[in-house]
Amino acid sequence: MNLFGKQTVSMTWDFPEANIFLETVGGYLPAAQYIADCVETLPWNVEPGAASQANAASNTITAGKVVSTDPPYYDNIGYADLSDFFYVWLRHAMRGVFPALFATMVVPKDDELVATPGRHGGKDAAELFFLEGMTQAMRRLAEQAHAAYPTTIYYAFKQAETTELGTSSTGWETFLEAVIRSGFAITGTWPLRSEQEFRMRGLGANALASSIVLVCRQRSIAAPSISRRDFMRELKDELKDAVQVMIGGGEGVSPVAPVDLAQAVIGPGMAIFSKYSAVLEADGSSMTVHTALTLINRMLTEGADEFDADTQFCLGWFDEQGWAAGEFGKADVLARAKGTSVDHVRDARVVEAGYGKVRLLKPAEYPSDWSPLKDNNTPVWEAMHQLIRALRNEGETLAGTLLAGMPDRAEPIRNLAYRLYTLCERKGWADDARAYNELITSWTGIEAASHEKGHLGSQTKFEM
Ligand SMILES: C[S@@+](CC[C@H](N)C(=O)[O-])C[C@H]1O[C@@H](n2cnc3c(N)ncnc32)[C@H](O)[C@@H]1O
């Protein structure tokens, strides 16, 4: 039986399946090795560090310090409840050594900043407790931390509620509300790959792969307000560039994985929102964080006009039908609106059209002997799905070989993969979403293989 098995305790959560005798995560030896690695790199010849316990909402420890903090994630983990599991045994053994630490029968819970409905008498009351407590804790940081340095806050919480209207999350919203209310302006965000991809919550789900570091400074008391219309204009002007930087990656910087993009884009969006004392709606009320997040998220799916007409048609048809067949009449109207025709898209060999129906071909149905060098009608849609087929069937090397034959397509292909990921996630099409995510996460390898092959025209002996 597993160490902790599927036992029923007062909370239902993931359960560990670790085999402590194996040399994998959860095994005794790797765990000891992790600790040894840390101990080895400790700087022994500097001032010793110190640890003390305090409620963040009333602490004095942070006064005049540089603060980098990893706060609780809304209702993600009840640390105090979890600690009880161990505390009761530790208390037996260690009460005599640390009487102050083990003074209570169980772990103290009143000050814990988590939104636990059971503890606070309902979902709304739990949210209010978290918002007020977190605002107080953040205000404490904003007022006390060293003014010359930004405060950095780690936040790893996947946006949870995704609907046709957009993606939002109560956990995120409440947390950001607290940060902004406390007097902080978010001046930057750094997506950071930190969570192990094979952890329990990651299995079988498109789980978050990055944490976000929010970089905060105290907002000036003279910060002006702005109208909704001007806010939208600023979002439009600045977000597009910010997103391009995120998905483009760069020297030594990996592109943000599609699974993280919706969350990563919150940073630059919130930087605009939080530098103003308020964003004023037409009726004079202040825009809520919820509305701001919805508007920021919507920016991710706007601007499809950057693609060729056939790809725009495919995007629209996929949005409507997925991979299923739809009425020819409807497809015809959509194709005309995008400046192409069903015949033209069929000639590009990305749809099957006949008997009054039109259906997008799945990557597995694409011909495996395709070469960009021999195809003079290649919408980005086709190029990207050919890469997915090649990656799946034959790995990064072959996908890289295909990319070498169409180097100018690299950027639009990547943009399309991000866009399709966002669309699939919104629709709840997890398998498709995963395929687009995989293309991006393998991108560095595909590009390296493509460079190895040499770009079309740069090598005369190039063969496909
Ligand atoms: C996301 S965890 C930080 C984990 C830590 N970075 C680590 O790697 O172990 C958030 C922590 O905040 C603590 N916490 C909750 N409420 C708090 C409060 N009012 N004051 C200080 N810390 C609190 C939790 O007990 C938990 O340890």
Identify which of 112, 129, 175 to mutate to test ligand 1's pocket (most ligand atoms within 8 A of the CB): 112
CA torsion angle 287 293 296 301 (round to 10): -130
What is the per-residue pLDDT across 278-294, written as a single tens digit (0 to 9) for each? 999 989 999 988 888 87
CA-to-CA separations, 136 to 25, 59, 116, 174, 319, in angstroms, rounded: 37, 11, 18, 13, 43
Q: What distance in Å separates the CA atoms of residue 391 and residue 398, rounded to the nearest whole number?
A: 7
| pLDDT band per the 50, 70, 90 thresholds, residue 197 | very low
Q: Which atom of ligand 1 is least distant from the CA of 83?
A: 25
| pLDDT band per the 50, 70, 90 thresholds, residue 13 | low
Ligand 1 centroid from CA 432, angstroms: 36
Residue of 402 and 376 predicted with greater confidence: 402
The answer to whether 307 and 378 have CB atoms below 8 angstroms apart is no
Mean pLDDT in residue range 69-98: 90
Asked whether the predicted pLDDT for residue 56 surpasses 90, the reply is: yes
Identify any residues that bridge with 368 across adjacent strands, giving them in sequence order: none
- In sequence order, the 6+-apart residues with CB closer than 8 A to the CB of 342 are 328, 331, 332, 335, 351, 353, 358
Is 112 touching ligand 1 by the criterion CB < 6 Å? yes
> Do strands 326-327 and 357-360 pair parallel, antiparallel, or not at all (unpaired)?
antiparallel
Q: Which atom of ligand 1 is least distant from the CA of 156?
A: 1
Which amino acid, one-letter code, is at 389? Answer: R
Give the pLDDT score at 164. Answer: 45
Which amino acid, one-letter code, is at 81? Answer: D
Q: What is the percent of the chain with per-residue pLDDT over 90, rounded to a whole number? A: 34
Is 72 touching ligand 1 by the criterion CB < 6 Å? yes
Asked whether the predicted pLDDT for residue 25 surpasses 90, the reply is: no
Which amino acid, one-letter code, is at 127? Answer: E
Of all protein residues, the one whose alpha carbon is nearest to atom 3 of ligand 1 is 70
Is the backbone of residue 249 left (phi > 0), alpha (psi -120 to 50) or beta?
Answer: left
Is 138 touching ligand 1 by the criterion CB < 6 Å? no
Which amino acid, one-letter code, is at 312? Answer: Q
Give the pLDDT score at 221. Answer: 85
The answer to whether 129 and 136 have CB atoms below 8 angstroms apart is no
Give the pLDDT score at 251. Answer: 60
Identify which of 58, 74, 113 to mutate to test ligand 1's pocket (most ligand atoms within 8 A of the CB): 113
Residue of 249 and 53 predicted with greater confidence: 53
Mean pLDDT in residue range 319-342: 87
Is 111 touching ligand 1 by the criterion CB < 6 Å? yes
Residue of 53 and 280 predicted with greater confidence: 280
- Name the DSSP letter for residue 73: -
Give the pLDDT score at 11. Answer: 53
Give the pLDDT score at 86. Answer: 93
Give the pLDDT score at 87. Answer: 95
| pLDDT band per the 50, 70, 90 thresholds, residue 460 | very low
| pLDDT band per the 50, 70, 90 thresholds, residue 35 | very high
Ligand 1 centroid from CA 70, angstroms: 7
What is the per-residue pLDDT across 332-367, written as a single tens digit (0 to 9) for each? 888 887 888 898 999 889 999 888 899 999 999 999
Give the pLDDT score at 88. Answer: 93
Give the pLDDT score at 462. Answer: 37
What is the per-residue pLDDT across 411-432, written as a single tens digit (0 to 9) for each? 889 889 988 988 898 888 888 9
Asked whether the predicted pLDDT for residue 158 surpasses 80, the reply is: no
Residue of 197 and 372 predicted with greater confidence: 372
Asked whether the predicted pLDDT for residue 5 surpasses 70, the reply is: no
Is the backbone of residue 122 left (phi > 0), alpha (psi -120 to 50) or beta?
Answer: left
